[in-house]
Amino acid sequence: MRETEKIWMNGDLVDWNDARVHVGTHGLHYGSGIFEGIRAYETAKGSAVFRLTEHLKRFENSARLLGMELGYSVDALRQASHDVIAANGLPECYLRPIAFFGYGELGVSAVGNPVDVVIMSWPWGAYLGEEGLKNGIRAKISSWQRIGPNVIPHAAKATGVYLNSMLAVTEANRAGYDEAILLTAEGYVADGSGENVFIVKDGELFTPDLSTSILPGITRDTVIQIAQDLGYTVHEKSLIRSDLYLADEAFMTGTAAEVTPLRAVDDVEIGVGAITLEIQEAYLDTARGRSERWAQWLEYATPAPAEA
């Protein structure tokens, strides 16, 4: 990763190298943390953070699902996000808020541990490569099942959940694929290691519904709205692996991955389709402030108060 100047940590902007924790930190031992991934884009009107408030609301929900007191409101974290972007002088960056049970007691119960809250920002290019964004990626159905709703709450973007994703994407990469797609224990398509999944069939869009052990993706929500506004019907329903194999088009969505075409699933070639590229263009034009149609999703830093 590319280092930047400052990290917001528990209310202060500290130097990159001073943002440290003790090895006895609860979150390191038990994965008891939550995080977000947010992108800021450079636009003609300055740095715009894409759906920042929605991301911070999901952060708050994740904390609630882990019984974690953040101690900072969404408003405070919004200001902190803009502060760290300004401090690092990077209008275009990836933001990573993370909160975790800190150093105090060890033992699985988190009762009595303090909570650390941090926001990092650094430049992060195309998640699955520029080539993947343009020409699509190849994904492998994972042999690892997606965590179930009674295993860990999947609506929480919790750090520990990502062991599930890590195993899946590592297996896929070792087999020569770019990404993994996880199925639920019942065999329904859930999500990628870090993306939601969509298919196009007969001109309509399909994506797993929110109860299918998926992260409620903000890009997923964005794409549903864009697609509907462009006149497409979007179905949120359970999908099985053969729906992927028979799809006319398929793509993945995520803050990091944006809209990335899926050109193959396992050994089945799907190719890159026109509807995928239309939605990708609308998404990137919106995020980069080139299209006014969905401009409500861009959150600019509030102007600094004038000097007295």
Catalog residues that contact ligand PPE under the rule CB under 6 A: 37, 165, 191, 194-196, 215, 217-220, 253-257
Smallest gap from Cβ 278 to ligand PPE, in A, equals 19
Q: What angle do CA 29, 30, 31 make, to 5 degrees?
A: 110
What is the phi/psi pair of residue 286, to 5°? -70, -50
Q: Name the helix (H) or strand (E) containing 28.
A: helix 26-30
Q: Residue 118 in 3-state DSSP? A: strand
> Hunting for tokens 């990628």 — which residue is that?
192
For 294, counting Cβ atoms within 10 Å of its Cβ (0-12 exposed, 13-18 middle, 19+ buried), the class is middle
Q: Which helix (H) or strand (E) holds 61?
A: helix 52-65
Token pair recorded at residue 95: 């933001």
Assigned token pair, 63: 């904390």
Paired residues of 12 in beta bridges: 9
Q: Which are the contacts of 308, defined by CB distance < 8 A and separation ≥ 6?
A: none
* 142, 168, 184, 230, 255 from 164: Cα distances, Å: 10, 6, 12, 35, 19
Q: Are strands 93-101 and 38-43 parallel, antiparallel or unpaired?
A: antiparallel
Write out the two tokens for 138. 């190849």
* Alpha carbons 35 and 57: distance in angstroms, whole number: 11
Active-site annotation, residues: 157
DSSP label of 48: E
Q: Which residues are bridge partners to 101 per DSSP?
A: 115
